[in-house]
């Protein structure tokens, strides 16, 4: 795993260290909370002149980032590391997920994070992402069985790992989130069929990245959008070599470096 990390300067309109440190959802006198493992999936459509992505609005009743527009995603569950996939992660993606993983680095946990992103996307949007299989896989986990019943299995070889961010220490809900990206051609069925969505994300729609900046976004989501813009402008081989930004905190001070 890489050990020579270089800090990167803030990109205009992206990660704002001052905002991250001082303002966004600040909760003073908050006891230290261990971040929970989480994963997010950014789905990219390339069937128009400019790429489009899927975003939705978190309901007002959410205690974490209410009313903000985000990508689908959520906490990793224990089952995510155990259930079956069609194909595993590509070796470079797995290596970067293992880099500075909290606790004991585990390929199984790296795989579970990518699986969580696919499961959460299915639950929050109703979209089925994976490869068709002739017979549904079987599991005792009801959430994964609902997915498998669509005659699909996750193809993790199609997933790219593009960013990681840990919630500031002054929040009483904290997440260590990995941001994954996948092409919309991995969706089985209608790209607009979100009728089975759980309701956690409202106003689900596809939009160009430039238009997404006009939404009410968390600070970290702005950074991810900027990262995506730069990535998608590169040829595929250069995208694979591009460092993965990692936003975390030393005390109350935000740090952006790379994996």
Chain segment 11-38, per-residue pLDDT in tens: 444 455 555 444 444 445 556 788 999 9
Helix (H) / strand (E) element for 97: namely helix 91-98
Q: Per the domain annotation, does 15 fall within a domain?
A: no
Task: Tell me the percentage of the chain whose pLDDT exceeds 70.
Answer: 85
How does the average pLDDT of the chain come out, rounded?
87
Position 67 scores a pLDDT of: 79
Residue 87: DSSP 8-state: B
Specify the DSSP class assigned to residue 185.
Answer: G
Count CA atoms within 13 Å of residue 246 on its CB side: 18
How many structural domains compose the chain?
A: 1
151 assigned to some structural domain: yes
* Among 211, 86, 76, residue whose Cα is nearest residue 137: 86
- Section 84-100 average pLDDT: 97
Residue 7 lies in a domain: no
Mean pLDDT of 117-127: 97
Give me the pLDDT at residue 15, please. Answer: 52
Using 50, 70 and 90 to split pLDDT, how confident is the model at 7?
A: very low
CATH code at position 170:
3.90.79.10
- Residue 24 located in a structural domain: no
Domain of 251 in residue numbering reads as 31-48+56-258
Share of the chain above pLDDT 90, in %: 71
Do the strands 160-166 and 245-250 form a parallel or antiparallel pair, or are they unpaired?
parallel
- CA angle centred on 52, ends 117 and 93, rounded to 5°: 40
Q: Give the pLDDT confidence of 147-200 residue by residue, as tens digits.
A: 999 999 999 999 999 999 999 887 788 999 999 999 999 999 999 888 888 878
Domain annotation covers residue 121: yes
Q: What is the pLDDT of residue 29?
A: 58
pLDDT number for residue 21: 47
Q: Is residue 137 part of a domain?
A: yes
As a whole number of Å, the end-to-end CA separation of the chain is: 9
Torsion of CA 177, 183, 184, 185, to 10 degrees: -140
pLDDT digits (tens, 9 = 90+) for 191-230: 988 888 887 888 999 999 999 999 999 989 999 999 999 9
Distances (CA, A) of 243 to 6, 42, 74, 162: 10, 17, 24, 8
pTM for the full predicted model = 0.87
Q: Which of 108-112, 169-173, 183-187, 246-250 has the lowest mean pLDDT?
A: 169-173
Is residue 138 in some structural domain?
yes
Q: Is 40 inside a domain boundary?
A: yes
Instruction: Compute CA distances 258 → 3, 21, 98, 245, whole Å.
Output: 10, 19, 13, 4
Residue 139 · residue 80 · CB < 8 Å: no
Closest CA to 86 of 179, 151, 162, 160: 151
pLDDT at 61: 59
Closest C-alpha to 57, from 115, 124, 114: 124
Work out the average pLDDT over 234-251: 92
148: alpha, beta or left, given left = phi > 0 and alpha = psi -120 to 50?
alpha
Average pLDDT over residues 90-105: 96
**163: DSSP letter:** E
Kindly state the average pLDDT of the residues 119-143.
Answer: 96
């Amino acid at each position: 795993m890489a050990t020579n990390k270089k800090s990167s300067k803030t990109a205009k309109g992206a990660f704002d260290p001052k905002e991250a440190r001082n303002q966004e959802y600040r909760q003073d006198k908050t006891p230290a909370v261990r971040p929970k493992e989480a994963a997010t999936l950014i789905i990219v459509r390339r069937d128009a002149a400019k790429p489009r992505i899927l975003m939705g609005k978190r309901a007002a009743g959410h205690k974490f980032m209410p009313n903000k527009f985000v990508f689908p995603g959520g906490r990793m569950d224990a089952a995510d590391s155990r259930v079956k996939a069609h194909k595993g992660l590509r070796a470079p993606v797995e290596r970067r997920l293992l880099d500075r993983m909290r606790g004991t680095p585990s390929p199984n946990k790296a795989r579970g994070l990518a699986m969580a992103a696919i499961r959460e996307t299915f639950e929050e949007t109703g979209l089925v992402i994976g490869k068709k299989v002739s017979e549904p896989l079987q599991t005792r986990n009801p959430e994964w069985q609902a997915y498998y019943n669509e005659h699909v299995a996750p193809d993790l070889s199609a997933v790219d790992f593009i960013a990681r961010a840990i919630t500031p220490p002054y929040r009483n809900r904290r997440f260590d989130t990995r941001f994954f990206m996948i092409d919309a051609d991995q969706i089985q069925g209608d790209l607009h069929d979100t009728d089975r969505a759980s309701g956690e994300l409202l106003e689900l729609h596809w939009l160009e990245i430039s238009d997404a900046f006009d939404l009410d976004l968390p600070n970290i989501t702005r950074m991810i959008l900027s990262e995506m813009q730069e990535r998608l402008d590169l040829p595929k081989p250069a995208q694979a070599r591009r460092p993965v930004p990692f936003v975390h905190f030393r005390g109350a001070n935000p740090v952006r470096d790379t994996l």
